[in-house]
Amino acid sequence: MKARARRARWVWLPLAAMLALPASRALAQPPVGPAVDRHRAAIAPLEGTPSWSSPLDLLLPPAIRAGYHTRDWARDLLPPAGDSLDDLARMDMIYLRALGESSGDIESALLASLIACFEHRTIPFSFGLHLPLTLEGDGSFARRVERLPERIFADRPEGGDRDKLQHFFASAWLAWTLDNGALADLAGLGIEAGEEAFISGGADDPRDVRTNRLGQHFAELLRTRPRTLPSAMIRAWNRAYIDGRR
């Protein structure tokens, strides 16, 4: 019961807390990496030693603090895609960085990954309210979003899939926190319906629903295989998609 109560309190806390502070200065630690086959070993020095960049860190819940630090790292130190590092490997690296900043706590790492991957500054409601998701300066926000992985799904549109990162990690975090994939799925479907009804320019996107469900499956898999990486879910879907196309 105590563990479930701890999980429940995170359901309402993150949105208010993540708006509390602007982005802090760049972290001094080197990036996790450099390739998907090696970044698991690179996380070991981070476990149990989250970054501290400001005395105000003491006032933040651990998951929110980890989110700010992971966000700063993604903005300044996430390696670019290269011959041995595709965008799915870079997605894994964001999660692994968040896991290190969270001292290995999976629930906190999923929320920290979500904060690091926001690619909207606000949620623009159709009735005029713009709910801020980050207080980063314009330059910091643009630089971080530019570094986020975008080549995620095999059926991605020409503009890429940066927005799918936040769907994946939000749904994974919700499924883990609620300890119920069906409830997380219902919440995701409700958000999609609400986006079409209440968000300016919003639409009920089946690709968002698919990404949400892959995030839920990721959270479920983490309970029995805690060393699973996010890319495992996306790569499996991509293989099935490509095989089905042939």
Please tell me the predicted confidence (pLDDT) of residue 168.
95
pLDDT number for residue 84: 81
pLDDT tens-digit map of 187-215: 666 565 555 544 444 455 788 889 999 99
122: DSSP letter: E
The residues near 180 (Cβ < 8 Å, ≥ 6 apart) are none
Express each pLDDT in 125-174 by its tens digit.
Answer: 545 555 556 777 889 989 999 999 999 999 998 888 999 999 999 999 99
Q: What is the pLDDT of residue 244?
A: 85
Domain parsing of the chain, residue ranges: 2-245
Please name which of 81, 56, 80, 79 lies closest in space to residue 68, comparing C-alpha atoms: 56
Choose among 78, 71, 59: nearest CA to 137.
71
Whole-model pTM? 0.73
- pLDDT tens profile 77-132: 999 888 789 999 999 999 999 999 999 999 999 999 999 998 866 554 545 555 55
pLDDT tens, position by position, 51-87: 656 666 677 888 999 999 999 999 999 998 887 899 9
